[in-house]
């Protein structure tokens, strides 16, 4: 029998198994993000979990544990470094599109997956997978619960009127309310040309918000006094 070119010690086998389980746990969370069409998917979350496990697996396994300075709280420094690095990656996932912010949930998932990788890397395999199940439960069950929880949908309304138009605050408020909006704030801005701009912050119940925005936009488009307008929903995910 040809001898193996290297010797798989029990410690090495254990470390490899932990890394594989860290990849599996990260992939479970990444699968949900990938299914929802988010930029950070299975590969990203698997790599985050794997990296966290790689940096911590040597703390408790193999002949390398003394190099981590366990007597000098080296493990604590490693964990702090991992979490600090995840902060930079999470910041790159968060994207602002106008007034809406996307990627907050994915950034939080990366933070959670890094903790899962740390737990599996240090030998807390069961707790790591329990954490992954909790993360999946929050992502899927809470999304289902959102359908039954009344929520407000906010929007920012910008409109520019012609010089001849003189809209008043009460009239605009009534107009917004006729479409189902509640006005939170209403600001006016005038130009030397005589044109008048308004900026309003409004909200409507989530179930009727889309129709309310569409009806308001159609009204502005057909109004000859309105030169330019925008009705932008404010969302975060």
Range of the domain at 183: 152-234
* CATH number of domain containing 207: 3.30.70.60
For the stretch 216-229, pLDDT in tens is 899 889 988 888 88
Which residue has better confidence, 5 or 101?
A: 101
For the stretch 181-205, pLDDT in tens is 999 989 888 776 667 888 999 999 8
Residue 1 pLDDT greater than 80, yes or no: no
Same domain membership, residue 162 and residue 130: no
Same domain membership, residue 157 and residue 102: no
Tell me what pLDDT residue 62 has.
Answer: 52
Same domain membership, residue 157 and residue 133: no
Tell me what pLDDT residue 117 has.
Answer: 92
Write down which residue in 87, 116, 145 finishes a domain.
Answer: 145
Mean pLDDT of 158-167: 81
For the stretch 79-96, pLDDT in tens is 888 888 888 887 777 877
What's the mean pLDDT when you consider all of the chain? 82
Q: Could you tell me if residue 1 is inside a domain?
A: no
Same domain membership, residue 227 and residue 178: yes
CA dist 112 to 5, 69, 223, Å?
Answer: 38, 25, 50
Confidence (pTM): 0.74
Same domain membership, residue 119 and residue 221: no
Q: Could you tell me if residue 4 is inside a domain?
A: no
Write down which residue in 145, 179, 211 finishes a domain.
Answer: 145
The total number of structural domains in the chain stands at: 2
Q: Could you tell me if residue 3 is inside a domain?
A: no
Q: Could you tell me if residue 178 is inside a domain?
A: yes
Same domain membership, residue 212 and residue 123: no
Write down which residue in 104, 125, 145 finishes a domain.
Answer: 145
Mean pLDDT of 10-38: 86
Q: Could you tell me if residue 190 is inside a domain?
A: yes
Same domain membership, residue 69 and residue 175: no
Q: Could you tell me if residue 5 is inside a domain?
A: no
């Amino acid at each position: 029998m040809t001898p193996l070119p290297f010797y798989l010690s029990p410690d090495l086998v254990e470390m490899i198994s932990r890394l594989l389980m860290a990849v599996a746990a990260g992939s479970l969370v990444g699968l949900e993000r990938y299914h929802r069409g988010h930029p950070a998917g299975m590969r990203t979350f698997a790599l985050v979990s794997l990296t966290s496990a790689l940096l911590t697996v040597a703390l408790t396994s193999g002949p390398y544990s003394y190099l981590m300075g366990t007597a000098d709280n080296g493990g604590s420094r490693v964990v702090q470094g991992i979490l600090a690095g995840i902060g930079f990656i999470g910041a790159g996932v968060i994207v602002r599109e106008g007034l809406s912010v996307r990627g907050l949930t994915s950034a939080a998932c990366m933070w959670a997956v890094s903790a899962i990788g740390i737990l599996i890397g240090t030998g807390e395999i069961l707790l790591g997978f329990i954490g992954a199940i909790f993360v999946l439960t929050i992502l899927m069950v809470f999304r289902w619960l959102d359908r039954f929880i009344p929520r407000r949908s906010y929007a920012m309304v910008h409109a520019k009127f012609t010089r001849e138009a003189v809209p008043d605050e009460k009239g605009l408020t009534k107009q917004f309310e006729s479409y189902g909006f509640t006005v939170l704030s209403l600001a006016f801005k005038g130009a030397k040309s005589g044109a008048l701009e308004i900026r309003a912050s409004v909200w409507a119940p989530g179930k009727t918000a889309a129709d309310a925005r569409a009806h308001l936009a159609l009204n502005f488009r057909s109004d000859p006094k309105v030169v330019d307008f925008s009705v932008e929903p404010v969302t975060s995910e």
